[in-house]
Amino acid sequence: MRAAVLYSTVPAGTSYGKAQPLVVQELSRPEPRAGEVGVTIAYSSLCHSDLSVVDGSRVRPLPMALGHEAVGRVASVGEGVTDVSVGDHVVLVFVPSCGSCRACRAGRPALCHRAAEVNGSGDLLHGEALLRTPEGERINHHLGVSAFADYAVVARESVVVIDDDVPDTIAAMFGCAVLTGMGAVLNTAAVQPGQSVAVFGLGAVGLSAVMAAALAGASAVIAIDPNTSKHGLALKCGATAVGTPDDAARLIAEAAGDGVDTAIEAVGSARVIASCLEHVTRGGAVVSVGLPHPTAELTVPALQFAGAGKRLLGSYMGDAVPNRDIPLYLGYWREGRLPVELLHTDTRPLAEINEGLDALAAGQVVRRLFQA
Ligand SMILES: [Zn+2]
Ligand SMILES: [Zn+2]
């Protein structure tokens, strides 16, 4: 099998096309163990959190085969897997929820304790890492998926079976971008018809949040990004107003008076989270979706919580229940209510993955898909 492996981090600001931090190489092809499935990857897509692993701001054990958003077909099933069959069309999910920990029992599989543990160590839910170089060196799995590859062995819990006829180029984006952005609006904030929403950061997750806010019937959807090339796309996704951070206060005042009901922070910046708290009305909620640097600290006026009823909510993987939400969101796409195709910028061979990192860092692409 072939996969893209990160051996050492390369700081942000470097030309990844020159530095080639991801090495596309042959690995020994593992077979699924009990509770696992082998998946032939059709497309994987490059997400900002892959970039954060490459530049070291999201610390992961190396070497690691990266990639966590993908679609494919089941190629083989391990012992005890009875509800997934060879040939099934599957979206990969980056939290292999165990079903029995405290979070899973509470109906919050995105926060699975066991998944957080194995994702942190680069192992799989049902056993230690399987990936090896031909020389026998262990390669860690990225979030139980490692999808920048032509093949992956993953836990049964890392796949959601979808309809056969959904195009791969659409389905590829549901496992991270769509699930995270949609879930932040529909699950975490539970936006209601007629409410106002502002979305800060118009990457694939932010644009998915814009689509979700429009779908939920928000009366105003204000989309903010310093990169003005994202603004037209946000309008197509359902934004009612677009602007740069300098425009945010004016646009919000025009559309929502003293603040929006919900502000979605999809940048991963403590400073932007703090500004979002100023942009929500009394009783409003800020949803923190982007992943700030682990050393970043947040300083905000403390009175606005008890004094104005404001809420600051964290949302990991959109508080999703993937088995419920991926088919639900695909249904919205099928009904023409969720124009996910707008997120797909282009498709390239896996050999060009490092150049893809540069394009993503520069904000030139929303979702670039890769084919091994
Ligand atoms: Zn992602
Ligand atoms: Zn669990």
Compute the distance from residue 178 Cα to the ligand 1 centre, in Å.
9
Annotate 48-77 with b (16+ C-beta within 10 A) or e (fewer).
bbbbbbbbebbebeebbbbbbbbbbbbbeb
CB within 5 A of ion ligand 2: which residues?
A: 97-98, 101, 104, 112, 114
Ligand nearest to the CA of 180: 1
Q: Rounded to the nearest 5°, which phi and psi values hold at 184?
A: -60, -35
Kindly report, residue by residue over 320-360, the tens digit of the pLDDT. Answer: 999 999 999 999 999 999 999 999 999 999 999 999 999 99
* Domain locations along the chain: 2-172+339-371, 178-316
CB neighbour class for 235 (10 Å; exposed up to 12, middle 13-18, buried from 19): middle
Compute the distance from residue 50 Cα to the ligand 1 centre, in Å.
7
Instruction: Output the pLDDT for position 304.
Output: 96
Instruction: Output the pLDDT for position 175.
Output: 97
Compute the distance from residue 110 Cα to the ligand 2 centre, in Å.
8
Kindly report, residue by residue over 77-118, the tens digit of the pLDDT. Answer: 999 999 999 999 999 999 999 999 999 999 999 999 999 999
Beta carbons within 8 Å of 220's beta carbon, 6+ residues apart: 196, 197, 240, 241, 255, 256, 260
Evaluated on CA atoms 102, 106, 109, 111, the torsion sign reads: negative
Average pLDDT over residues 287-311: 96
Kindly report, residue by residue over 238-277, the tens digit of the pLDDT. Answer: 999 999 999 999 999 999 999 999 999 999 999 999 999 9
Beta carbons within 8 Å of 104's beta carbon, 6+ residues apart: 97, 98, 112, 114
Average pLDDT over residues 293-297: 94
Ligand nearest to the CA of 116: 2
Spatial distance between the Cα atoms of 292 and 136, rounded to a whole number of angstroms: 35
Ligand nearest to the CA of 96: 2
Compute the distance from residue 320 Cα to the ligand 2 centre, in Å.
13
Cβ count near 88 (within 10 Å): 19
Kindly report, residue by residue over 137-150, the tens digit of the pLDDT. Answer: 999 999 999 999 99
Annotate 141-153 with b (16+ C-beta within 10 A) or e (fewer).
bbbbbbbbbbbbb
Annotate 193-224 with b (16+ C-beta within 10 A) or e (fewer).
eebbbbbbbbbbbbbbbbbbbbbbebebbbbb
Superfamily of domain 2-172+339-371 in CATH is Medium-chain alcohol dehydrogenases, catalytic domain (3.90.180.10)
Ligand nearest to the CA of 290: 1
Q: What percent of the chain has pLDDT above 70? A: 100
Spatial distance between the Cα atoms of 296 and 287, rounded to a whole number of angstroms: 17
Q: How is residue 350 written in tokens? A: 């896996």
pTM of the model: 0.97
Instruction: Output the pLDDT for position 72.
Output: 98
Residue 75 near residue 15, CB atoms below 8 Å: no
Compute the distance from residue 176 Cα to the ligand 1 centre, in Å.
5
If you ran DSSP here, which 8-state letter would residue 165 be given? Answer: T
Q: What is the average pLDDT value for the chain, to the nearest integer? A: 97
Q: Which of 197, 162, 148 is nearest to 2 (CA)?
A: 148
Largest pairwise CA distance in the chain: 63
Superfamily of domain 178-316 in CATH is NAD(P)-binding Rossmann-like Domain (3.40.50.720)
Instruction: Output the pLDDT for position 349.
Output: 98
